[in-house]
């Protein structure tokens, strides 16, 4: 699925990393997009990646652990990221506060021109539990994190249960980061050594791939 350079390193054209507190639904979101189904997953330990091909381009989607003890690793997995998904649970205020206090700072390790997409998960639970974070607050955060973007606001509300907004999150990232004129700024220094990053973290699955 990935191509290789002369040194045998696997190449990805874009690295996307997902960040956010434990249990906001990061792994479920990636799985819903990659497999089209809603299913249960154990809490992520360290990180794992899913490889996705989009219009002949290779994308590595890195899932990270939300638990605080893995924060250092998450920082490591942000390196060379051309895009980051910052996920919070729309029904859990604390998860949005944690996004601002713990996770936005990790973006410093990503590419200078990285896209930061703010994603409010579990929208299907709003009717039952109520909404704890207004869309306008997420819009404000997305604007703060992407001061150079003026033509759209990278924010989505999603449900991995019913599929709301899931495809849009990923397709928007790919469209914005991999479109022809964005290649120069978002292309990940031409080579991401997936094997080296794989060695650095642990994972629930035996091949470090979430798929
Ligand atoms: N109702 C509903 N539940 C969801 C949704 N997304 C995730 N969940 C549930 O939320 C729980 C946590 O989901 P995970 O995807 O494991 O959360 P995570 O952010 O990866 O957590 P860590 O790996 O610990 O950082 C699971 O029980 C999921 O089934 C959603 O869109 N709707
Ligand atoms: Mg997880």
pTM beyond 0.95, yes or no: no
Task: Say which residue the tokens 């649970």 belong to.
Answer: 89
CA of 151 to the centre of ligand 2 (A): 32
Give the Cβ contact number of residue 22 at 10 Å: 14
Pick from 174, 151, 204: which is nearest to 40 by CA? 204
| Protein residue with its CA nearest to atom 27 in ligand 1 | 40
User: Which residues constitute the domain of residue 47?
Assistant: 11-206
Q: Which two tokens stand for residue 34?
A: 């990659």
Domain annotation covers residue 64: yes
Q: Which two tokens stand for residue 131?
A: 């909404």
Pick from 63, 25, 80: which is nearest to 202 by CA? 63
Domain count, the chain: 1
- Segment 82-96 shows an average pLDDT of 98
In this prediction, residue 180 carries a pLDDT of 60
In this prediction, residue 9 carries a pLDDT of 58
Domain annotation covers residue 162: yes
User: Ligand 1 pocket test: which of 28, 70, 166, 167 has the largest number of ligand atoms within 8 Å of its C-beta?
Assistant: 28
Q: Would you place residue 7 in the very low, low, confident or very high pLDDT band (cuts 50, 70, 90)?
A: low
Domain annotation covers residue 143: yes
- % of the chain beyond a pLDDT of 90: 74
Q: Which two tokens stand for residue 86?
A: 């910052």
- The Cα–Cα gap between 106 and 101 comes to 10
CATH of the domain at 199: 3.40.50.300
Answer whether 44 contacts ligand 1 (Cβ < 6 A). Answer: yes
- Segment 106-135 shows an average pLDDT of 97
CA of 147 to the centre of ligand 1 (A): 30
- The Cα–Cα gap between 63 and 45 comes to 10
Cα atoms found within 13 Å of the Cα of residue 25, Cβ hemisphere only: 26
Pick from 77, 96, 76: which is nearest to 86 by CA? 96
Point out the least confidently predicted range of 12-21, 68-77, 86-95, 202-211: 202-211
Answer whether 104 contacts ligand 1 (Cβ < 6 A). Answer: no
In this prediction, residue 42 carries a pLDDT of 95
């Amino acid at each position: 699925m990935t191509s290789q350079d002369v040194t045998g390193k696997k190449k990805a054209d874009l690295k996307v990393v997902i960040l956010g507190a434990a249990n906001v639904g990061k792994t479920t979101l990636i799985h819903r997009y990659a497999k089209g189904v809603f299913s249960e997953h154990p809490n992520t330990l360290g990180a794992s990646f899913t490889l996705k091909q989009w219009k002949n381009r290779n994308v590595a989607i890195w899932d990270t652990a939300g638990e605080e003890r893995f924060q250092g690793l998450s920082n490591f997995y942000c390196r060379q990221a051309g895009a980051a998904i910052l996920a919070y649970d729309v029904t859990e205020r604390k998860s949005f506060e944690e996004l601002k206090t713990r996770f936005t700072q990790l973006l410093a390790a990503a590419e200078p021109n990285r896209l930061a997409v703010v994603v409010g998960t579990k929208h299907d639970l709003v009717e039952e539990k109520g909404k704890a974070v207004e869309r306008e607050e997420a819009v404000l955060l997305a604007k703060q994190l992407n001061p150079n973007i003026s033509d759209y606001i990278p924010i989505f509300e999603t449900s991995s249960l019913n599929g709301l907004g899931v495809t849009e999150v990923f397709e928007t990232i790919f469209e914005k980061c991999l479109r022809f004129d964005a290649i120069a700024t978002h292309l990940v220094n031409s080579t991401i050594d997936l094997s080296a990053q794989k060695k650095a973290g642990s994972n629930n699955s035996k091949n470090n791939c979430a798929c």
